[in-house]
Structure 1
Amino acid sequence: MLAGLTGWHIVAIVLVVLVLFGATKLPVFAKGLGQSIKIFKKEVSEVQDDMAKDRTQRSDAHLDRETVTTPDTQTRRASEDR
């Protein structure tokens, strides 16, 4: 995305941002952006923790299950005994 930008391009973009937003609004903008990133990282971490907890609960529940035979197996064995 930024592969074609040189140093002069970045300087020009920074100058345009300064002119558009003004030096007084940039700290407020940066603070809001930082808080948004912090909240986003926290939510991603919580979702990953929930997914890991669900994964362990599912694997624990799977280990507690009893082996169930299917009706086809029982039918075949009954017919073989005759």
Structure 2
Amino acid sequence: MGIFGNAFTGWHLLVIVLVVLVLFGATKLPVFAKGLGQSIKIFRKEMVDVQEDIKGDRDKRSADHQDRETVTLPDTTSQTRRASEDR
């Protein structure tokens, strides 16, 4: 026997807890949802910014290495150097 006898079972208490949560939490749920939505929006924007930074760095690195050529030395070893070093 519980504190109230057989009046409340586990399901009754669960329903009561849910009703109390909805009644007292209803004013806070829209604020929480709005904050969550803004956080997701900011996170997505930052992810796009990071991807653009990575792409820009990759393009810059690729452009830095475009003026390199493979040169064969007399001892048949290959090395990479800048084309501007030959001038």
TM-score interval, smaller chain: 0.5 to 0.7
**Going by fraction, where is helix more abundant, 1 or 2?**
1
Between 1 and 2, higher relative CO (CA 8 Å, sep ≥ 6) is seen in 2
Any idea what the Cα deviations from partners look like across 1:16-59, whole Å, max 9, x if unmatched? 4x717610000000000000000000000000000000111111
Choose between structure 1 and 2: higher strand proportion: 2
TM-score (norm 1): 0.58
RMSD value, Cα: 2.9
TM-score by length of 2: 0.55
Q: What's the offset of the Cα at 1:73? A: 3.5
- Report how many residues are paired: 60
Moved over 2 A (4+): 65-74
Structure 1 gaps, min length 5: 1-11, 75-82
Q: What is the aligned-residue identity percentage? A: 65
1:71 Cα deviation (Å)? Answer: 8.6
Larger Rg: 2
5+ residue gaps, structure 2, are: 1-13, 78-87
